[in-house]
């Protein structure tokens, strides 16, 4: 997807020098994984035998994660409790490079926690631990005072309203007043149906459902969306509406501009729309802070949204993916082990089974393609661990690899059977040259190995089994070999 007459690359570069403040309800998303093998004798309910847990930022934390992924210096203004969950939120935020100076502790309310219990592919239950009453006057005053300190140097303000009690009408208007005083654009992903509480903001980003609920108007066509957005601008006292329309793209309607702009989305397979609204508002805010106008910022956000809905779960956009999306060249991502681990957690949170295989894949041939397609057919997502160049030399000799790791990764990423590529391997002779450490990090459900192996001949087997994974040995397609292909070319 090309962006005409707009230097998107320069905008992304500028984002790295900007700061964006997110004010709102931050939460801890907890995922508890296990298996169900029996029904409780006490009552007819399943007994979940818990294997492991994982945590990630939720609520306003979704917008923060997207800003961090874009390289923006993100700041947060929110409230946590004096509890272990609050400590975990602060830890996760700091690990993502988020400024937590505005994360205030409230002794009188718990940290908001959403816990999802999953057995295999099935989510059994979600529990919400929260206090939705408004924060005290004292905390509200402290938040506004902290906001004054954090406003210095920021390029945009996002108000992330989940209706959990942090953002009172008084605090919202106080934040808007502060931002206007500092000539900072304010963006809101709205909640509820009365948007007059957001009077004075620069941009509202409702989806189609929210737009029709707020205006009681149909939103089935470009013209109807434009009319509803104009009505919302008038009744709410905002400057612009960027309406997100799922597969129909986005519409940008501005109070001071006569003609609306309708942005079409590219034709992609949608896996999950959760979190797409946070990606949109974070990308628009980051682009505005970097010097783009609203239409240019919305074009970037439209591409970002089309990328994240092809992922699974609440997955943030990353600058590299957005760059690749400019011309429609998005492929399976090339991740380091940390980013890969984050994505695997999101996949597993959706109950998806993750497969893993590894190899040099120096000269990709029909045998490889058939093997990877078969492996992908046995799982929901397939990760390929790719031996780095130094690792291949150790395994195959000084004249290998024929193609460097970037070239090999690009070819693998273009295959529909591959969902992620992760480089690994030793840098010098004597170092561990197996995929064991990577497997320990990712804990795949399946480990695929091609060839006439037995389990005790696979060095990665203990790590797979320790993580609860299953080893699947599959035969390569006969008559295909990288070494024989290279020999044939040389002869």
Catalytically annotated residues: 278
Local structure of 37: helix, strand or coil: strand
Candidates 254, 195, 186; CA nearest to 24 is 186
Cβ proximity of 71 and 12 under 8 Å: yes
d(CA 49, CA 36): 6
Phi, psi of 4 (to 5 degrees): -70, 140
Cβ proximity of 175 and 136 under 8 Å: no
Question: Which one-letter DSSP state was computed for residue 182?
Answer: T
d(CA 18, CA 28): 26
Burial of 267 from C-beta contacts in 10 A (0-12 / 13-18 / 19+): exposed
Report which secondary-structure segment, H or E, holds 354.
strand 354-359
Listed in sequence order, the residues at least 6 apart from 430 whose beta carbon sits closer than 8 Å to its beta carbon are none
Candidates 390, 463, 464; CA nearest to 423 is 390
Give the sheet arrangement for strand 26-39, strand by strand. Answer: 46-59, 26-39, 113-119, 122-129
Instruction: Name residue 355's beta-bridge partners.
Output: 382, 446
């Amino acid at each position: 997807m090309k962006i005409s007459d707009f230097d998107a690359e320069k905008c992304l570069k500028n984002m790295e020098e900007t700061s964006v403040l997110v004010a709102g309800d931050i939460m801890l998303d907890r995922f508890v994984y296990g298996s169900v093998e029996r029904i409780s004798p006490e009552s007819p309910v399943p007994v979940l035998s818990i294997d492991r847990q994982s945590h990630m930022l939720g609520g306003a934390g979704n917008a923060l994660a997207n800003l961090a992924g874009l390289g923006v210096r993100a700041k947060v203004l929110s409230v946590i409790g004096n509890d272990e969950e609050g400590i975990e939120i602060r830890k996760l935020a700091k690990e993502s490079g988020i400024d937590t100076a505005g994360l205030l502790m409230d002794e009188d309310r718990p940290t908001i926690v959403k816990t999802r219990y999953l057995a295999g592919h099935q989510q059994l239950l979600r529990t919400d631990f929260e206090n939705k009453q408004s924060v005290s006057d004292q905390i509200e005053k402290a938040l506004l005072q902290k906001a004054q300190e954090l406003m210095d140097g920021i390029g945009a303000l996002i108000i992330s309203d989940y209706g959990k009690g942090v953002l009172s009408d008084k605090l919202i208007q106080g934040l808007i007043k502060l931002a206007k005083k500092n000539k900072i654009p304010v963006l809101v992903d709205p909640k509820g149906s009365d948007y007059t509480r957001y009077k004075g903001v620069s941009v509202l980003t409702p989806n189609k459902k929210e737009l029709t609920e707020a205006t009681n108007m149909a939103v089935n066509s470009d013209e109807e969306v434009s009319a509803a957005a104009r009505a919302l601008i008038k009744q709410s006292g905002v400057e612009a509406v960027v309406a997100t329309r799922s597969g129909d793209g986005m519409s940008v309607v501005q109070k001071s501009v006569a003609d609306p702009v309708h942005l079409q989305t590219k034709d992609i397979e949608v896996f999950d729309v959760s979190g797409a609204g946070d990606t949109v508002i974070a990308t628009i805010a980051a682009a505005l802070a970097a010097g783009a106008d609203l239409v240019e910022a919305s074009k970037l956000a439209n591409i970002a949204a089309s990328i994240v809905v092809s992922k699974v779960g609440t997955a943030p956009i990353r600058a590299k993916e957005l760059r690749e999306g400019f011309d429609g060249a998005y492929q399976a991502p090339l991740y380091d082990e940390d980013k890969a681990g984050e994505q695997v957690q999101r996949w597993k949170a959706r109950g998806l089974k993750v497969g893993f295989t590894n190899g040099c894949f120096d000269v990709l041939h029909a045998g490889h393609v058939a093997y990877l397609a078969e492996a992908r057919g046995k799982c929901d997502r397939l990760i390929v661990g790719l031996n780095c160049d130094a690792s291949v030399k150790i395994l195959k000799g000084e004249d290998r690899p024929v193609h460097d790791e970037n070239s090999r990764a690009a070819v693998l990423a273009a295959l529909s059977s591959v969902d992620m590529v992760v480089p690994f391997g030793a840098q010098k002779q004597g170092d561990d040259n197996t995929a064991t450490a990577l497997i320990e990090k990712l804990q795949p459900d399946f480990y695929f190995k091609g060839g006439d192996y037995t389990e005790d001949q696979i060095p990665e087997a203990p790590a797979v089994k320790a993580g609860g994974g299953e080893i699947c040995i599959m035969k390569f397609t006969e008559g295909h070999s990288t070494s024989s292909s290279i020999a044939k070319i040389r002869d």
